[in-house]
Amino acid sequence: MFYDEVKISAKAGDGGDGIVSFRREKYVPKGGPNGGDGGCGGNVILEGDRNVGDLRNFHFKPQWKARNGQPGMGRDKHGRNAENLIMKVPLGTVVIDQASQKPIIEILEHEQEFVLLEGGRGGLGNRHFKSSTNRVPRQCTPGKPGEEGEFKFVLKSIADVGLVGFPNAGKSSLTRQFTNARPRIAPYPFTTLNPSVGIVEYGDGDYRTVLLADIPGLIEGASDNRGLGHRFLRHIERCKKLILILDMGGVDERDPVDDYQQLLSELERYDPAFLERPRLLAANKMDLPKASANLKRLRKITKDEILPLSCETGEGLEELKEQL
């Protein structure tokens, strides 16, 4: 299972209480106050981690709590501050406050930190209340409670290029050709159920990379949350370029021209800004008999750049890599 949306509750640690304490010295009937302050409660901190793939840790553990600060002690000893609770999340995580339904932060970089909830401050010991009129103070203050809240984490894949297409169009095959990602391949639709991000390496002298996202197959009505619906579409929101991959062979009695128009329609209905991004049409399965005729029909209805290729024979793959 791939977990890209979870709801959690979290609480920062409470501050430790201050205490009432007095010195005990020989020949000093009433020694001065020496009650120490309480320690601060631990913060709840989010940290981006590129080695975390999804939100499964929060799916199986929806409640999180940081430790409380220690209470103060005699002899002016300060209670120990509690350690912060570090919650590691995958890059691309959007944090939404459940009460207001507003986004709080997006974690986009490795080791990026954000204090989600602050721990409570420690209380004051009685040494703070000594004065000329209050030589024997018996006052102290309790620690402050830590912040708490309920949140929704939504994961949006971070990739340079999004590979978009209907089921069985060849997205996973193309991803395997270019990257070290290994999405599942089989001769039936919906073999890929989770987004898969692979690295495309290029450049002779200098090492450079492009992140390519293989998105689960789109179906008609996805913008209305049919099929994988919004769980599919949100994973291409951060992509700088889209590759629309089409089955030019008409396998499963699909028409690539209709597929192209439906893809654009679903993207526009979800977010019109998708159509303004650079895109390339990858005309796959050009080794099949009907592909050439379908390619001619496709060229007549679009001005988008079309690159014929075949994941089976390798035709056009190097040219596509150069385009990326």
Q: What domains does the chain contain, in order, with CATH numbers? A: 5-155 (2.70.210.12), 161-323 (3.40.50.300)
pLDDT of 45 higher than 80? yes
pLDDT at 221: 55
* Residue range 15-44: mean pLDDT, rounded: 88
Nearest Cα to Cα of residue 288 among 305, 317, 309, 318:
309
Question: Cβ(116)–Cβ(45) under 8 Å?
Answer: yes
pLDDT at 69: 96
At residue 88 the predicted structure's pLDDT band, cuts being 50, 70 and 90, is very high
**pLDDT, tens digit, for every residue of 257-290?**
999 998 898 888 888 998 999 999 999 999 998 8
- pTM score above 0.75: yes
Question: Cβ(130)–Cβ(181) under 8 Å?
Answer: no
H or E segment to which residue 196 belongs = strand 196-202
Average pLDDT, whole number, for the chain?
Answer: 85
- The angle, 0 to 180 degrees and rounded to 10, between the axes of the packed helices 291-301 and 256-270 is 40
At residue 144 the predicted structure's pLDDT band, cuts being 50, 70 and 90, is very high
H or E segment to which residue 163 belongs = strand 161-164
Lowest mean pLDDT among 91-100, 120-129, 220-229: 220-229
* Residue 123 in tokens: 């209380």
* DSSP state string for 255-270: -HHHHHHHHHHHHHHH
Alpha helix positions (H), 56-107: 56-60
* Residue range 149-172: mean pLDDT, rounded: 86
**pLDDT, tens digit, for every residue of 308-324?**
999 888 899 888 888 88
pLDDT of 150 higher than 90? yes
